[in-house]
A and B are shown apart, each in its own frame.
Chain A
């Protein structure tokens, strides 16, 4: 899949970045293709790349206590893997391809941190955007926890 600027502009992780900065980021990212059922990352593994869904849908699955629970579906424009990007800890969930086909843009932690060191404004904006996305997800969690027991959870 070809990475175009309109696709990158639709990713909230990149909010506030100009076209030159987006093009430079695309240079250090790697596009990967997946098919339905493929495991993109596994809970507990020690990998640190961050991913952006360019096309398709993925499912976030928790496998704690040998119980597999589907937590949420992420569509185009969403990112995952930010926690390991920030703390280099083990993956907190498994990500599985849900749509027949999906494309991801992946950044290695080392490449992204080195890029942010060179381009500090890009680093500031992306870290701000990651924090905002985590706040968004926390607010969703708070809202859905307040729903009755029979309601769908995230």
Chain B
């Protein structure tokens, strides 16, 4: 399964991101979004899966800036 995931970060310090990934995001997981470390707060299925693709919406909170990009 490929997960098409939209990320939104509470607090407005990140403009959000859409990416396709091999693994499903998990609540509590720490991820880097374009230079910002974030913690996943909520994962919801946005629309039903289609063939090999699942469509998810993730809400995160900012942890720290990595300065990577």
Contact = CB atoms under 8 A, between A and B. Distances in A.
User: How big is chain B's contact interface, by range?
Assistant: 20 to 34
Interface of B is mostly: strand
A59 B12 CA distance: 16
A124 B18 CA distance: 24
A154 B2 contact: no
B27 interface: no
Determine the interface band of chain A, counting residues with CB < 8 A from chain B.
Answer: 35 or more
B40 interface: no
Interface in A1-21: 9-12, 15-16
Interface of B: 2, 4, 6, 8-20, 33-34, 46-47, 50-53, 55, 57, 69
Interface of A: 9-12, 15-16, 36, 57, 59, 70-78, 98-100, 132, 135-137, 139-140, 143-144, 147, 150-154
